[in-house]
């Protein structure tokens, strides 16, 4: 039998959840925490199918419950993610209205399975009003309800939410598991972005992301003597679209982390860069403002540190 949603890696996390389920004391709220692109969403979908009656997390595509989960038609599963606005553009965050719809979903009786499962993909993209509204279900969970909250770690999870959930931590995949996921997919650029996050790398493939990474790498080679034209080009390339901004941000963070191994003082700069990404949505920064801020923070941190080109 071939699993409809094979999951490479994360065997320990799967065992932890199965053990909790078999104990008969399954917690109603779980935070699936770890970097994006490592399989947390797939874990959530496999888990939801199993809770709703599929033949385990490795159920095949012939399983009727798995079929409904894969098609998004199971009445007892609600998946919350960013939606398009009235102009057909992807919203910047998950709205409070979506979270209230989730609360209403949990107030209804299960239609098929005896359970209701809700997934928020991801907490990092929910606005503060939505996060506060989520507390209603976490504080007064109905019977046979499971809430899976995916967190990529780009924003701090509210203590009020964390304290009411069980945290299941996911790590980056090993090199061998990453290669298995990417086998037959992507190209050299895709592989270079993986760093244990194959799903994330695949999401950036194509489009303008490669140009953003290349423009930033060009700047980093001469970061100790920056040329205004090269700086401007990097800022513009990184702000081209959401994928470009993500690739730009992760590349500058990875470069700084590597340099910090030789210059520990840059650890503070890495934290400052991470803070820019974490607060960009809250401060309503445009992509152009975000890339410019990232470069500015890096340059400030490098002023008193000798970094090899």
Residues 238 and 109 occupy one common structural domain: no
pLDDT in tens, 149-202: 999 988 889 999 999 999 999 999 998 999 889 887 766 777 777 889 999 888
The total number of structural domains that make up the chain? 3
pLDDT in tens, 25-80: 899 999 999 999 999 999 999 999 999 999 999 999 999 999 999 999 999 999 99
Please provide the average confidence, as pLDDT, over all residues in the chain. Answer: 92
DSSP for 48-87, written as a single string: HHHHTT-SSTT-BTTSHHHHHHHHT--TTEEEE---B-TT
- Say how far apart CA 198 and CA 185 lie, in whole Å: 10
Q: Which residue from 63, 73, 17 is spatially nearest to 40, judged by alpha carbons?
A: 17
Which pLDDT score, from 0 to 100, does residue 70 have?
Answer: 97
**Measured distance between the N- and C-terminal CA atoms of the chain, rounded to whole angstroms:** 52
In a domain, 114, yes or no: yes
Domain ranges, residue 188 = 174-205
In a domain, 20, yes or no: yes
Average pLDDT over residues 290-295: 96
Which pLDDT score, from 0 to 100, does residue 184 have?
Answer: 73
Residues 216 and 241 occupy one common structural domain: yes
In a domain, 4, yes or no: no
In a domain, 2, yes or no: no
pLDDT in tens, 200-253: 888 887 779 889 999 999 999 998 888 899 999 999 999 999 889 989 998 999
Residues 148 and 283 occupy one common structural domain: no
Residues 192 and 273 occupy one common structural domain: no
**Which CATH number do you get for residue 158?**
3.40.50.300
SS3 102: helix
């Amino acid at each position: 039998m071939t699993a409809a949603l094979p999951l490479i890696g994360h065997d320990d996390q799967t065992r932890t959840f199965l053990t909790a389920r078999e104990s008969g004391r399954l917690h109603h709220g779980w935070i699936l925490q770890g970097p994006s692109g490592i399989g947390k969403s797939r874990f959530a979908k496999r888990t939801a199918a199993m809770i709703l009656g599929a033949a385990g997390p490795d159920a095949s595509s012939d399983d009727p419950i798995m079929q409904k989960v894969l098609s998004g038609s199971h009445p007892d599963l609600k998946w919350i993610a960013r939606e398009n606005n009235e102009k057909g553009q992807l919203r910047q965050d998950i709205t409070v209205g979506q979270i209230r719809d989730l609360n209403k979903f949990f107030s209804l009786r299960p239609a098929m399975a005896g359970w209701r499962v809700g997934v928020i993909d991801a907490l990092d993209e929910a606005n503060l009003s939505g996060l506060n509204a989520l507390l209603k279900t976490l504080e007064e969970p109905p019977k046979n309800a499971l809430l899976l909250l995916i967190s990529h770690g780009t924003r701090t999870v509210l203590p009020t939410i964390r304290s009411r959930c069980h945290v299941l931590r996911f790590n980056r995949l090993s090199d061998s598991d990453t290669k298995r996921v990417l086998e037959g997919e992507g190209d050299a650029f895709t592989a270079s972005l993986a760093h244990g996050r194959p799903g994330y790398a695949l999401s950036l493939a194509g489009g303008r992301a490669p140009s953003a990474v290349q423009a930033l790498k060009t700047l980093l080679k001469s970061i100790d003597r920056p040329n205004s034209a090269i700086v401007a080009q990097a800022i513009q390339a990184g702000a081209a679209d959401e994928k470009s901004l993500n690739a730009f941000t992760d590349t500058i963070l990875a470069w700084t982390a590597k340099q910090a191994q030789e210059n520990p003082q840059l650890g503070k700069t890495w934290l400052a860069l991470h803070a820019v990404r974490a607060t960009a949505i809250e401060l309503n920064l445009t992509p152009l403002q975000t890339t410019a801020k990232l470069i500015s923070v890096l340059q400030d941190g490098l002023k008193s540190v000798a970094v090899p080109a």
